Structures are given as structure tokens and as C-alpha cells.
Structure 1
Amino acid sequence: MSGDDLTGLAVPQAEPTLAEDLMLVLFQPGSGPSGTGVIAAEGVLLYALAGAVLAELGMRGHVRAEVAGGVGRVRATDAVPADPLLRRAWDYVAQKPRGVQTVLAAVGPQLREPVLERLVARGDIERGVRRAFGLFETRVLEGDGGERRAALVAAVRAVLVDGEAPSERVGALAALVSASGALPQLHREIPWGTAVAVRAKELEQGNWGADAAAQAVARTMTAIIVGNVTIAAAVLPKG
């Protein structure tokens, strides 16, 4: 998909996408050199962001997920997404039904910068410049993520630590954060331990709790996608 027109992908829409929420939660303020921020799970970020895009397409009814022969696949519906970030992935799936891992590998590599630029444009993350050895300028990430990051982390923590039943969006977000392998790095905000690890794995597998029965489609869709994100993170190239 390297020849795609990427114009407009970095322009924020009215509502943040799930991919934006995921990157914002993975943003770790003050964890980089000289108090700068870093994005956790950089090595697998492209698969996690692509999984977030697919999960949102599923929750909004733009694609359907299915399992055939043990392989997760997605097919496009007639509902065309307006957001160009989502539309690009939908266009790819609309050509023909695709394996989830195929979509992750095709869509993911060009998501990081547009998603990050949206967060910068919204004021959630700031860009700065640091000078190394008094000579070389390096672009860095700054800020604390603002109120929106704090609210997202609190919602994920409530599900993982306090046992609250998640909404569709928070359930998918928590499952994707878990699949990225970043939860231990978020220990300061979401205390890491056996109980959290078990709950996170349940969310990955679509077990969101008895109160989430009405979210069967979202749970199933997320489980299929997140399972493939986990596989991709383990076996596909991370370059």
C-alpha cells in the first residue's frame, strides 16, 4: 500500500479514533531522556494501531470479521467510513475479503505518523527539540497527555484493576494495550500483577463480563483482531 495517497490522514476529525486513544495511552510522559515522553511498545506499534483501526471499523459496522479454517478474516460492508484514516483501511478490505494478519501488515506501517500528528494537533502531545552534545538537534515528545489521556488510563485501570464491565470502546482499548505487551510498562498508572494479567487476557479473548452480553459483536470482533495482533507481534518483522 506504499503508493496510496496519504493526504488527510493526519487531520483530526470530530471524534478521536480508537487508534489515537491507543497511542495516547501508550504515550509515557517523562519516561524518555531529560524528562521527554516515549511511546511504549514501539516495536509492535504498527500492528497494534492497525488492530485498533480494524476494531473500530468493526464496531462501526464498516467491516465484519469471521473465522474460516481457524483463520481470522474481514470483509467490508457497504457502510463507507468518512474518516480518511479508517477509509484507507476500508478501501483495502473492500477490494476483497482479507486475512486479518494481511490487513495488519498492509495498513500498519503508515499509521504511526498520521496518528501521532492528530494527537499533536489536538494538543494531547507536544513536539519539542533537544540538542545532543551541543550539536545535534533531536525531535522529542513532550507533555503529560492532558486530561484526555488521564481519562483513558483511568477507564482502562477501572476495567483491569477494579473489575468494572467495559464499554465496547474501553474493552477494545484495554485488549489492544494488553496485546501490545505494554501493560508492565504502565505499572505506575495501572498496577501490574497476576490479577491484572489474567483480566487483560480475558479481555483479549472476548470475555468482558456478564454485564457486557449486549456487546457480543464487539467482543467477538475484538477477540479475532487482538489474537492476530498478538501473533503478528510475535512472528512478523518489526522493522
Structure 2
Amino acid sequence: MTEDSIRPQRARTLTTEDLLLVLFQPDSGTIAGENTLFYVLAAGVLTDLAQRGQAAIEDAGIHGTLIHAAGEPPEDELLRPTWDYISQKPRGVQGVLAANGPTLRRPVLDRLIERGDLREQKRRMLGLFPSTALVDGDSGRRAKLVAAMRAVLVDGARPSDDIAALVALVSASGSLPVLDREIPWSAATATRAKSLERGDWAAGAAAAAVTRTMTAVVANALIVGAVVANR
């Protein structure tokens, strides 16, 4: 499996969408890390904005790291609310995640369903009560993303910027071990994932370097948020 084989499909998607798709567990129909999912998706949005040159970070000294809007407002309606929020004034990353994450799950899920990456299946609990279950779609995109992640973490392949960001955010969310059947969990895997969380990957272009830095900042915020949420 090569990176080139997934690029045509991924050109139309966001890191935020990839996150939810990879966290979906086909065997159970559940999404890993539901209790902190809003943090994770909000972190994905900030990464997407950084990739597009529409968000940047600044060192505010004793006030820590702040995030502010850059460039033109995004046309994508999934990204625009966060851009509007950080365009009002520079914001702390934890505040951005908390303010913009809670509304993201359903619209991101709707995109994956519309694209055929996931499907909603009508069922009846105990044969009586109607319910809706998530099942893997027929696009094959989740399998390709997971294969690309495994190539980086297990085989030592050099990641593209988008796969590096995806691995870093899944790892920072604490959900990477859940993918053990697909991406074998080991000390080496954990070490590689942690290096990507810190932004330790090659980034040639200036925009890629901004993405790497933003990913490291939001990954650290995710770790803190997960600790607080699980207390």
C-alpha cells in the first residue's frame, strides 16, 4: 500500500474527517474515545486550518501559546466557525477545543456517510425497539488510511504530512492501542507515535512546517484534555 494510492480520495477530505473514520471500529460499530471525541475533532479542525494557512500560533510568554486566524476565511463550513472564533482575538488552544468541539461529531459523521465511507443501518433491539448502527462503507478508504498509518508506525515508512498529523492526533487522543488488531501495539510503535506527536517529521515547505508545529501544540492539548476528562 502506497501513499499515492490514497491521495486522489484524500484530496477531497479533511484531517478531521480522517480522524473520525479511523477511530470508527468496524467490529463493534462504535467510535473509540467517545468521551473525548469533541477535543479530538476540534484538534483536527485546527490542523486543517494550519494546513491551509488559515491558522497560526504565537508565543505569548507567560500566557502560553495562543492561536489566531490567518489568511482568508475558509469556504468549508466545517472549518469556518473555528476560524471565526480565533479571528476575534488570539485564543488559548484548550479554549478553542472546548468551544468548538462539541458541535462537530454529527456534521463530520454526515460527511463520511454521504461519501460512502460509513453507513447507518437500521436495526431493532431485542426485535422490538428501532435503533441505528454504524457500519463500514464500501469505499475502502478507512482500510487505506489505516494501512498508511501502519506503514509508518510498524514498517518505518516516511510519512506524508497528512498521515503524520493523523497518527499524531490519534496517538495523543489515547486511542491508538484500540487499533491493535490493525496496527500492532508495541514499545516501538508507541515511541514512533510519540515522536510524531512532538512534530518530529520532515517538513520541507513552510506550510508543512506550520502544520507540524500546530499538530504538536494541539496534540499536547489533547493529552491534557484526556487526563482531565478521565478523572
Q: TM-score of the superposition, structure 2-length normalised? A: 0.89
Query: Structure 2 CA distance, aligned partners of 1:119 and 1:125?
Result: 6
Match among 50, 54, 74 for residue 58 of structure 1: 50
Match among 23, 30, 41 for residue 33 of structure 2: 41
Confirm or deny: 8 A CA contact 1:24 1:145 kept in the other structure: no
RMSD: 1.8
Q: Percent identity?
A: 53
Match among 94, 106, 111 for residue 87 of structure 2: 94
Deviations 1:129-152, CA, capped at 9 Å, x for gaps = 221122211111012563211111
- The answer for the alignment partner of 1:131 in structure 2 is 124
Query: Aligned pair count?
Result: 218
Alignment of 1:22-33 (within 5 A): 22-30=19-27, 32=28
Alignment of 1:161-200 (within 5 A): 161-200=154-193
- The answer for the alignment partner of 1:8 in structure 2 is none
Matching of residue 85 in structure 1 with residue 78 in structure 2: yes
Match among 59, 62, 69 for residue 76 of structure 1: 69
Query: Structure 1 CA distance, aligned partners of 2:105 and 2:230?
Result: 16
Confirm or deny: 8 A CA contact 1:59 1:218 kept in the other structure: yes
Confirm or deny: 8 A CA contact 2:153 2:193 kept in the other structure: yes
Matching of residue 121 in structure 1 with residue 114 in structure 2: yes
Shift, 1:70, TM fit:
6.6
Q: Amino acid of the residue matched to residue 190 of structure 2?
A: A
Confirm or deny: 8 A CA contact 1:166 1:212 kept in the other structure: no
Could you say if the C-alpha distance between residues 110 and 205 of structure 1 is closer, same or farther in structure 2, counting changes exceeding 3 Å?
same
Unaligned regions of 5+ residues in structure 1, if any? Answer: 1-13
- The answer for the alignment partner of 2:145 in structure 1 is 152
Shift, 1:236, TM fit:
4.3
Query: Structure 2 CA distance, aligned partners of 1:184 and 1:147?
Result: 22
Query: Structure 2 CA distance, aligned partners of 1:70 and 1:178?
Result: 26
